[in-house]
């Protein structure tokens, strides 16, 4: 009986030693957390017009290299819809947002790269901006929804320990849209983007 107890104790001690040496993707010993907020401006061709999107992104940074958060953008420039609306509207409104993930390559270098993607949803609708805010108060506009995936690559510059600037490019892939305002092909396309990031990197 005594030998059995000793044998069981040895097996348990060996098992505990194995578990204590288990390797993990992220361990508590070297885990560092940060965060950031970033206003963004994007320039893109939409319906052969210059589409200017303004918005922001932000989130959590793990071990200086992996960022996860959310981003959202809205069309700020005048872009004509493909068709006139039911009340004669000429222009379109567009907005989208979703989960934003990013991998930062060599973040401690003065100039470095980052790659990521936004996956989410958006919507478009008719608008006639010439009629002002009272026009919107008098109607209930119909929003047509779509799915969006937008991979991105950036060149980042470390200005200070808490401030970065980024110049990048993205491809906006729109699908699932059924609308008289626009279509998937017209809303999909490349964008050039400029952003400033503030946070703990």
pLDDT in tens, the chain (201 residues): 545 445 444 544 554 554 445 555 555 567 899 999 999 999 999 999 999 999 999 999 999 999 999 999 999 999 999 999 888 889 999 999 999 999 999 999 999 999 999 999 999 999 876 655 555 555 556 899 999 999 999 999 999 999 999 999 999 999 999 999 999 999 999 999 999 999 999
- Which residues, in sequence order, are bridge partners of residue 184? none
Q: Is 86 within a domain?
A: yes
Q: Is 7 within a domain?
A: no
Q: What sign does the dihedral 127-130-134-139 (CA atoms) show?
A: negative
- Which residues, in sequence order, are bridge partners of residue 162? none
**C-alpha separations of 176 from 52, 144, 191 in Å:** 23, 10, 20
What is the number of domains present in the chain? 1
Identify the DSSP state of 7. H
Q: Is 3 within a domain?
A: no
Q: Is 19 within a domain?
A: no
Q: Is 98 within a domain?
A: yes
Q: Is 132 within a domain?
A: yes
Helix (H) or strand (E) holding 20: helix 2-20
Q: What is the CATH number of the domain that holds 155?
A: 2.40.160.20
* Long-range contacts, stretch 73-77, CB < 8 angstroms, 24+ apart: 73/40, 73/42, 73/97, 75/46, 75/51, 76/52, 77/49, 77/50, 77/51, 77/52
Q: What is the pTM of this model?
A: 0.81
């Amino acid at each position: 009986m005594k030998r059995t107890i000793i044998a069981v104790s040895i097996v348990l001690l060996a098992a505990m030693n194995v578990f204590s040496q288990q390797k993990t993707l992220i361990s508590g010993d070297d885990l560092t957390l940060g965060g950031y907020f970033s206003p963004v401006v994007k320039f893109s061709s939409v319906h052969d017009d210059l589409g200017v999107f303004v918005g922001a992104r932000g989130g959590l940074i793990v071990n200086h290299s992996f960022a996860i958060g959310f981003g959202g953008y809205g069309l700020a420039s005048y872009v004509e819809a493909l068709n006139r609306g039911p009340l004669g509207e000429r222009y379109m409104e567009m907005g989208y947002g979703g989960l934003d993930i990013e991998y930062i390559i060599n973040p401690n270098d003065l100039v470095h790269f980052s790659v990521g993607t936004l996956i989410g949803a958006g919507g478009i609708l008719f608008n006639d901006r010439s009629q002002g805010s009272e026009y919107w108060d008098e109607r209930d506009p119909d929003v047509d929804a779509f799915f969006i995936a937008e991979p991105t690559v950036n060149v980042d510059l470390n200005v200070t320990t808490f401030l970065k600037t980024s110049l990048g490019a993205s491809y906006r892939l729109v699908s699932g849209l059924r609308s008289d305002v626009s279509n998937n092909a017209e809303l999909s396309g490349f964008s050039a983007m400029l952003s400033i990031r503030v946070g703990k990197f």
